[in-house]
Amino acid sequence: MSLTLLKVSVAIPTRDRPKDLAELLVTLLDQSQLPQEVIIIDDSQSASTKETAHSFALKFESVGCKLKHIQGSGDGLTAARNLGVKTSRGDAILFLDDDTLLNRNVVSALATFLKDNIVALGVQPKILPSAKNLNDESLTKKLGNALYKVLMLTYRRENKLAVRRSGASVFPESSTEVINAQRLSGCSCCYRREVFSELSFDTSLKRWGSMEDLEFSYNVYKKNPWSLYVIPYAKVVHKACGEARLPTKLNVYMATIYWFYVFFKDIFEGSVPNLIAFLWALTGNLVTVLCGLIVKRKKNREWWGLIYLLGSYITAFRNLKNILMLRLEFFNRNL
């Protein structure tokens, strides 16, 4: 691979979000360094996404970047990403969720970082939330963050991106310096092609595949501990679109069951402290949901979220043998 020019392929799995996809493609056309190619892997149930891709094809061709539309298998995000890798030709593959927006320097910054840092196998930009959440610095948020830390749940800390013993994560509250990370976030992560000679995304995680990004990137980290980075000078906005999502009940069940699966597959490693942390986090998750319902005086219908969470725990423990054997058919057949 030439150190003077690192070619980047962009892979965008998508499902029934043509408007969001179009907005993303506009920001890709505006990049200071265009990718070698943009590959759209389409799991949509209608033709609207294909039509959107075709409407942009000539625009990309006119600036020397090929736009490809590929019909996905319908098996979800992980299968789509694997197909994107198989189809791509670049030295590195940048995976983007269809509900992200890029600053002009993202492709250039990621490509340059990988070119200049030989040990780096993966890198991501600074991920910003949607505008409505940018200025949320309330005392309630800070207290909640401290509570999540104690309960071994996901919390935020300045300039840190790591995996906790429980399988939860530490995300950067702010990224003001280059971070050496234990995992990357799936909405905008870039890996050297060589990573995929040993690893692929786990296709047992279906649809939008909760924790699929942790499952893949943490395995990269375990094989090569100083190989994942976050850079603060390239930025993307993750809108976290609500379209084409699962119903609330299935969404809650997926989050729980896939958490069990990823924990026992990749994080447990026979460690009693890790298991204790996981069980503590499960309890803490219930406590925080219950307290949130009581303190915020939620309406009766919103208590169904707690009922779904309890049901998902029961289902996960009843099927623990299947999960330990890495078999998720008992849940995935519902998707």
Residues 31-85: pLDDT tens digits?
999 999 999 999 998 899 999 999 999 999 999 999 999 999 989 999 999 999 9
For 315, counting Cβ atoms within 10 Å of its Cβ (0-12 exposed, 13-18 middle, 19+ buried), the class is middle
* Tokens found for residue 335: 């998707």
Cα 62 to Cα 65, 147, 185, 267, 304: the distances in Å are 8, 52, 32, 47, 52
Torsion of Cα atoms, 281 then 285 then 286 then 288, to 10°: 130
Question: Closest Cα partner for 217 from 239, 198, 189?
Answer: 189
Each residue's pLDDT tens digit, 152-204: 999 999 999 999 999 999 999 888 999 999 999 999 999 999 999 999 999 99
Contact 108, 32 (CB under 8 A): yes
In angstroms, the Cα distances linking 281 to 85, 154, 172 are 34, 9, 20
Helix (H, G, I), strand (E, B) or coil at 97: coil
pLDDT category, 144, cuts 50, 70, 90? confident
Domain ranges of the chain: 8-135+180-238, 248-332
HSE, CB side, 13 Å, CA atoms: give it for residue 129. Answer: 9
DSSP class of residue 195 equals G
Side-chain-side CA neighbours of 192 within 13 Å: the count stands at: 24
Residue 135 has pLDDT above 60, yes or no: no
Compute the distance between CA of residue 290 and CA of residue 146 in angstroms, rounded to an integer.
17
Residue 12, beta-bridge partner list: 40
What is the reported pLDDT for 237? 96
Dihedral sign, CA of 185, 201, 253, 260? negative
Angstrom CA distances, 147 to 155, 291, 313, stand at 9, 12, 21
Residue closest to 249 by CA, chosen among 206, 289, 306: 306
Side-chain half-sphere exposure of 76, counting CA atoms within 13 A: 16
Q: Which CATH class is domain 8-135+180-238?
A: alpha beta
pLDDT of residue 42: 96
Q: What is the pTM of this model?
A: 0.93
